[in-house]
Structure 1
């Protein structure tokens, strides 16, 4: 089979917006969700700023039962469940009745990097103190990587494939492509796709130790993450979750669903940590091949790409990424597509990055705008040599377009690229 796959629901928990309406408003207006984090300061982190969603207990009670909230410490599960259930509702879908038959045609691919680190730390201390009986009944569900999907599938009654992928910063984009393939090949009708990431020092500490996070902006956090900037000095850690409902075009039309966009195809690969590739740096040959194959599988010509939603982390690799896009598309200067990165507003949300950024990408396609690159007033001179600054907007552009390429690259030299298309009704 070769089903057309469309997106009918979106959900997001982001540092600059914990629901779709807030998020849309924030990215249109270049609003930063990066703040000073007192806990990181107390723990003597070099980088004491972060992008952390703010979820209060009243909001949590809308998604979790009182018994579920007792002892729930996994922020990744909290974010993922909220984003996932919001996407399902946004698609006009309802959970299966608890006494009914599972929805055999619907499943979920929801990725993460870790799960319940704070809960895991608590468990270690209790075990070491010979207090095993005090661990409680939710340690396993909160600390297994598939915990977020266990919660989501139970709340929705999903009966198709339910799995959790993990590919570092490429996790979110990869989850969408895995769900896309399942629908395209006729093995599912609807799939919830997305990813989530825990918050906190036990996730972010390793990056601070690697000295890849900025330390000069602790007193002005909203200026700290600076993709494509000459003064970029590292990525700001972030967290959250993004989710979308994918389904066959036939199903969406049959039930009169709103269609945000269509997925034409994509590709995942690895640079094998060969050539320029390492554990922390991409092999440019692998990146270029990933983008090339994504365009080929989507049936899209290089000249048809209107907008790139890039990975761009505000590190020295930003220039390399731009060079890779220029090489693949054979376009530069004024001929280069518009390009943006949301990381200036929310930081690098690690395993949730690709899914949150894909939600932002789909909103742009569906509503005809290109969100601004903030903190990019001093464009890196090596990038300016390759791309006309007008193609790197610093204010929101109200502009309809047809094709957006979304790329994510991750630790371990893994790559993912998705080609989204604006859906034309009728």
Structure 2
């Protein structure tokens, strides 16, 4: 018999708030974390803005030992360790130095690219013939699984500890991988999430592709405009989100706080065929992913109360809405309420899915739907399919029972997860 899976812990390092309390307040109040970055101007970027979590030196000392901080130069690892450790503590789980690992707990924590600044530092030292000055942590900071390795050591997990990578779909995919492991009875709990580095060496490639907005450098908070007629491209961001998934029986046994239940989901690919490409989704694959998630969750399309979309603030936003209307067979007033977090924090790349999953779960738990900032002018193409009130501009206080969260990534890969309010 398949296990029921619930969420018992949350952690986040987001451009508009580090820590769950600060983050929830920010999304309820429509606070933007997008700022101007002078370094990007110095380097002649067209888009000189981005979303970056604010982490002080004092904050770092709460999560890393002096030895770990020596030579630490990977923003993704910093954000991932903060969010992952916070989620573990939020779940009421101890962090101890016992000799035996926790055999029932594992980690699936994804990333897209890790340790870019450390790589740059290493290249300069190697080219200068100073390889011995690299330090002993250059490998762990630059290998993709560095984030799960850091967290595995801090938390002492003895079950599966690994890293996944599927572009913008990474965080949502990690959650579903952890869900499946618990559901199959292979683990009692899994820390899942994802992180992303920030800065010019991560964001430069996107600037070169001319898919970032270049006319909002003097108005950074207005730049990210999902579902808006004036959307001009996605704003790059960074950070990390983390969730503790747990077997319901285990959670109840230890009296854990339960945020929500994971009913199921789907992951697929459009194969970069039939309109799908390295950067664009195959529409049929997206619709299949949505319908597959509903089938696995044993949910009727009419039961979806809310959608937290991928919705990056590009011309593809209207296409995403069209795919939702077709997959759910619901439109106009019958369509669920929909929002996008990217208006507040930009597109956090490999961290986007996990941060947005945290925001989705908070909405279910605390009976609100955050507003879509910078969407004063909804795209007319979208309004042909759904009514304006389905795109709330300000936070709504309402109970939501079932929420669908989607992520669609480069490489034509898709993931949809279905969350239910726990009662």
TM-score normalised by the chain length of structure 1: 0.99
Deviations 1:152-198 (A, max 9, x none): 01011000000000000000000000000000000000100000000
Match of 2:198, SS state, is coil
Deviations 1:335-359 (A, max 9, x none): 1000000000000000000000000
In structure 2, distance between residues paired with 1:277 and 1:73: 36
What is aligned with 2:275?
Answer: 276
What is aligned with 1:101?
Answer: 100
What is aligned with 1:163?
Answer: 162
**Structure 1 residue runs without a partner (length 5+):** none
Shift of 1:361: 0.1
What is aligned with 2:224?
Answer: 225
Shift of 1:129: 1.0
Deviations 1:203-242 (A, max 9, x none): 0000000000001100000000000000001000000000
What is aligned with 1:153?
Answer: 152
Deviations 1:314-346 (A, max 9, x none): 001001000000000111111100000000000
**Structure 2 residue runs without a partner (length 5+):** none
In structure 2, distance between residues paired with 1:422 and 1:170: 23
What is aligned with 2:410?
Answer: 411
In structure 1, distance between residues paired with 2:3 and 2:296: 14
TM alignment of 1:117-266, pairs within 5 A: 117-266=116-265
Runs (4+) off by over 3 Å: none
Match of 1:77, SS state, is helix
Shift of 1:401: 1.2
Deviations 1:275-323 (A, max 9, x none): 1100000000110000010000000000000000000000010010000
In structure 2, distance between residues paired with 1:36 and 1:147: 29
Match of 1:46, SS state, is coil
Match of 1:24, SS state, is helix
Shift of 1:414: 0.2
TM alignment of 1:53-68, pairs within 5 A: 53-68=53-68
In structure 2, distance between residues paired with 1:152 and 1:394: 37
Shift of 1:421: 0.2
What is aligned with 2:306?
Answer: 307
Deviations 1:48-91 (A, max 9, x none): 01001110110000000001101100000000000000000000
In structure 1, distance between residues paired with 2:98 and 2:248: 29
What is aligned with 2:72?
Answer: 72
Shift of 1:99: 3.6
What is aligned with 2:377?
Answer: 378
Shift of 1:100: 2.4
Shift of 1:125: 1.1
Match of 1:92, SS state, is coil
